[in-house]
């Protein structure tokens, strides 16, 4: 480090300062990017050397000043780390292209030279990890007061230009048609977005005049900051309205851009404040860490995708969570209603299992067979939804969003007692739903099988098919649990699809547009059309989720066969129905070991269905709220404690919590 500082002190004016500064940063870079202790030690060593050797700190100051004077800085402040004026898909394509073939760097732009200096792919980790006081000590060691006051003028002028650029962009983004459509008041004359550019222009002109004429008093930035506060209030209203009217990737992208540009403008205005010094304020160093991270991650597709879809994921999971509230029995009356709904679904599944077995006997061409299986599942699940019945395994994907919402309401520090009681409600509701499905599907399938044999003289399936069905449910000798996990993934996706279509119905105003269709009003009449639109508004997500879920279940086995992969699905309700069909085919002479393994398989298939779908849904719901999986960990001992203290609450709702009979 001594030699590098000596070279900087002896550097000739015609030599580029970039290479020397890059070499110095390489010396500061720790061996492990996450080792902030070594990074701190390196920075303090540099601070010590600069404070003891005036010629060295003068050489480093001169290199920094020359770099800032020779290169255009505006793009670094207005582009680096901020989403560009591109669509979401265009950003993804550009980043993939730049990762494969990085763009050429310009020697006249500071943003490109900045990338050469902080060239380590993980420099942002140690830059951000170093304590602000360490950076402030380094700033003080540079003794900027030894330089003429005019040395900072080029940088100040560039910062003022950045203010103009950022305010113009904020105004443009704030008046995007997508935002105006969701919240029309945003383009009214008194909108802060319309006044921001004018105030910024006045502020910049005043500051430039003060630099030329010391007798002129520059205006402060208070009015701009007031307007920025108002802009942020409008953004909050936009998000709230979007939650009611639906969101899109485009809307989310614009809101993220607005927030980023406003935050960057606040930082730039802070740096321009003459009463604030980097020696006592950490804004400059926080901005440095932000710029380094943006430079290191500028080709990351994951960062753009995660940031842009976060709000969309939250809206989708919240729509799913609203459905989840209907899957949680708060009292004994609702618990009984859930049992009846589950029993109704078990009745229909008994017939769906029959149709599946009959379709398999047709030996249709593979594509048509997959489509037939898928439509059997889809139409059956949609019928269950229309009749207000319940498939138990769909509940976890819905209730997980409700649990994540409760954790989020407590800022990641949940009220454990409240959450434990919520989990107890979910468990007992889930249990009664599973029992309702299974305990009805088994006898219904048995009655169908017996009636079929009495009418036709032959069982629905032969012995070989029955043996194959039972072997497929064996958790040891087959891939039943893997196939159950695949079904669990589909259950999770069905919940997301339901939330997505509920959001789409609101965002695209599908019910209103449907109610306004002239030909539909002529066909059904105005009253029936309104009822249909109302039904679509509240059930489009459920119908779409069931349709796609059924298709996925139906085509997976065929896709696995075509690809030569062991892909298939196992679902607890259908597996339990198959037990009855197989038992009748065997004339109830099943080998005991085979029967026991098949029953065990049904239980484990059900557990796998539930655990996979619930964990995936909870993970997405937590991530959409910027929470981690660890935020839910304190819930486990609280649930265990409640289970030991009140085990009955996990099975049956307390009678004292029942609503009056006329309440509902």
At 85-111, the pLDDT tens digits run 777 778 888 888 888 888 888 888 888
Find the mean pLDDT for residues 459-465. Answer: 93
Provide CB contacts within 8 A for 576, sequence distance 6+: 437, 438, 441, 442, 445, 602
The pLDDT of residue 383: 96
Distance of CA 493 to the CA centre of its chain: 14
CA distances from 209 to 156, 215, 218, 221, 653 (A): 12, 9, 8, 15, 74
Closest alpha carbon to 308 in 259, 342, 275, 271 = 259
- Which tens digits make up the pLDDT trace of 132-182? 999 999 999 998 888 887 777 889 999 999 999 999 999 999 888 888 887
DSSP 119: -
- Which tens digits make up the pLDDT trace of 529-552? 999 999 998 889 889 999 999 999
Domain extents for the chain? Answer: 313-647
The pLDDT of residue 241: 79
| Of the candidate ranges 348-362, 594-608, 617-631, the one whose mean pLDDT is the lowest | 617-631
| Of the candidate ranges 192-206, 335-349, 415-429, the one whose mean pLDDT is the lowest | 415-429
CA-atom Rg of the chain in angstroms: 33
Q: Tell me the C-alpha distance between 605 and 434, whole Å.
A: 12
| Of the candidate ranges 9-18, 148-157, 554-563, 625-634, the one whose mean pLDDT is the lowest | 625-634
Q: Tell me the C-alpha distance between 23 and 540, whole Å.
A: 60
The pLDDT of residue 663: 36
DSSP 218: P
Find the mean pLDDT for residues 461-481. Answer: 92
The pLDDT of residue 133: 93
Q: Tell me the C-alpha distance between 441 and 37, whole Å.
A: 63
Helices assigned H by DSSP within 457-525: 463-472, 480-507, 510-515, 518-524
Q: Does 318 have pLDDT greater than 60?
A: no
CA distances from 200 to 80, 335, 467 (A): 21, 61, 78
Q: Tell me the C-alpha distance between 13 and 493, whole Å.
A: 62
DSSP 656: G
Closest alpha carbon to 502 in 456, 453, 536, 452 = 536
- Which tens digits make up the pLDDT trace of 25-49? 999 998 887 778 899 999 999 999 9
The pLDDT of residue 660: 44
Q: What is the DSSP string of 349-399?
A: HHHHHHHHHHHHHT---HHHHHHHHHHHHHHHHHHHHHTT---GGGHHHHH
Closest alpha carbon to 376 in 584, 557, 563, 604 = 557
Closest alpha carbon to 356 in 438, 482, 440, 469 = 469
Q: Tell me the C-alpha distance between 479 and 641, whole Å.
A: 35
DSSP 109: B
The upper half-sphere exposure of residue 600, i.e. CA atoms within 13 Å in the direction of its Cβ, equals: 12
The pLDDT of residue 340: 93
Instruction: Give the N- to C-terminal CA distance of the chain in Å, as an integer.
Output: 77
CB atoms within 10 A of CB 661: 7
Q: Tell me the C-alpha distance between 56 and 52, whole Å.
A: 9
Q: What is the DSSP string of 163-201?
A: HHHHHHHHHHHHT-HHHHHH-GGGGSTT-HHHHHHHHHH
In contact, 600 and 623? CB cutoff 8 Å:
no
Q: Does 312 have pLDDT greater than 60?
A: no
Angle subtended at Cα 408 by Cα 402 and Cα 410, rounded to the nearest 5 degrees = 115
DSSP 72: B
Closest alpha carbon to 582 in 607, 606, 601, 558 = 601
- Tokens (6 digits) for 38: 């070594």
Query: What CATH number matches the domain at 313-647, 1.20.1080.10, 1.10.8.50, 3.40.640.10, 3.40.50.1220?
Result: 1.20.1080.10
Q: Tell me the C-alpha distance between 264 and 266, whole Å.
A: 5
Supply the angle between the helices 54-70 and 2-9 in degrees, to the nearest 10.
60
Q: Tell me the C-alpha distance between 149 and 322, whole Å.
A: 61
In contact, 230 and 195? CB cutoff 8 Å:
no
Work out the mean pLDDT of the chain and round it to a whole number: 85
- Which tens digits make up the pLDDT trace of 377-407? 999 999 999 999 988 776 665 666 666 666 6
């Amino acid at each position: 480090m001594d030699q590098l500082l000596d070279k900087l002190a002896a550097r000739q004016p015609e030599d580029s300062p970039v290479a020397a500064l890059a070499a110095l940063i390489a010396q500061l870079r720790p061996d492990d990017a996450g080792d902030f202790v070594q990074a701190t030690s390196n920075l303090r060593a540099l601070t010590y050397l600069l404070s003891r050797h005036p010629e060295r700190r003068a050489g480093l100051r001169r290199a920094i000043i020359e770099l800032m004077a020779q290169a255009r800085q505006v793009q670094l402040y207005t582009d680096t780390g901020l989403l560009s004026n591109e669509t979401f898909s265009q950003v993804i394509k550009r980043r993939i292209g730049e990762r494969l073939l990085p763009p050429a760097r310009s020697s006249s732009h500071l943003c490109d030279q900045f990338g050469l200096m902080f060239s380590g792919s993980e420099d942002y980790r140690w830059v951000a990890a170093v304590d602000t006081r360490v950076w402030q000590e380094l700033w003080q060691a540079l003794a900027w007061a030894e330089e003429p006051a005019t040395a900072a003028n080029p940088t100040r002028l560039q910062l003022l230009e950045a203010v103009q650029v950022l305010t113009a962009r904020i105004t443009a983004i704030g008046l995007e048609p997508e935002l105006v459509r969701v919240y029309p008041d945003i383009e009214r004359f008194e909108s802060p977005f319309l006044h921001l550019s004018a105030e910024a222009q006045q502020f910049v002109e005043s500051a430039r005049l003060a630099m030329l004429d010391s007798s002129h008093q520059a205006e402060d930035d208070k009015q701009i900051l007031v307007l920025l506060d108002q802009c942020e209030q409008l953004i909050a209203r936009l998000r709230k309205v979007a939650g009611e009217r639906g969101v899109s990737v485009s809307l989310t992208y614009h809101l993220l851009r607005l927030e980023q540009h406003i935050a960057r403008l606040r930082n730039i205005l802070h740096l321009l404040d003459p009463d604030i010094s980097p020696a006592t304020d950490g804004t400059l160093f926080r901005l440095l860490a932000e710029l380094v991270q943006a430079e290191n991650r500028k080709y990351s597709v994951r960062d753009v995708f995660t940031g842009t879809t976060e709000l969309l994921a939250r809206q989708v999971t919240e729509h799913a969570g609203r459905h989840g509230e209907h899957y949680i029995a708060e009292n004994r009356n609702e618990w009984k209603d859930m049992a009846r709904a589950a029993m109704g679904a078990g009745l229909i599944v008994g017939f769906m299992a029959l149709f599946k077995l009959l379709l398999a006997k047709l030996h249709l061409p593979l594509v048509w067979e997959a489509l037939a299986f898928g439509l059997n599942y889809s139409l059956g699940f949609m019928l269950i939804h229309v009749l207000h019945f319940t498939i138990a395994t769909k509940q976890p994907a819905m209730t997980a969003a409700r649990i994540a919402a409760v954790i989020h309401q407590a800022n990641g520090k949940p009220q454990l007692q409240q959450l434990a009681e919520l989990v107890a409600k979910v468990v007992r509701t889930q249990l009664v739903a599973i029992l309702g499905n299974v305990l009805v599907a088994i006898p219904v399938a048995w009655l169908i099988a017996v009636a079929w044999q009495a009418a036709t003289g032959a069982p629905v399936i032969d012995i070989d098919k029955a043996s194959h069905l039972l072997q497929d449910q064996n958790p040891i000798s087959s891939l039943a649990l893997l196939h159950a996990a695949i079904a669990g993934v589909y259950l999770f996706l069905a919940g997301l699809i339901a939330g997505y279509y509920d959001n789409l119905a609101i965002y695209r105003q599908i019910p209103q547009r449907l109610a306004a269709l002239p030909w539909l009003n002529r066909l059904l009449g105005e009253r029936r059309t309104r009822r249909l639109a109302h039904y679509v508004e509240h059930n489009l997500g459920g119908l779409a989720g069931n349709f796609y879920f059924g298709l996925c279940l139906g085509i997976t086995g065929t896709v696995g066969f075509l690809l030569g992969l062991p892909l298939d699905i196992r679902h607890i309700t259908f597996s339990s129905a198959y037990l009855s069909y197989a038992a009748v085919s065997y004339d109830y002479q099943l080998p005991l070991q085979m029967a026991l393994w098949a029953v065990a398989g049904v239980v484990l298939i059900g557990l796998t269905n539930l655990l996979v779908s619930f964990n995936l849904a909870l993970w997405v719901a937590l991530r959409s709220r910027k929470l981690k999986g660890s935020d839910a960990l304190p819930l486990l001992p609280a649930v265990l404690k409640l289970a030991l203290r009140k085990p009955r609450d996990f099975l049956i709702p307390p009678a004292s919590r029942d609503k009056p009979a006329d309440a509902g």
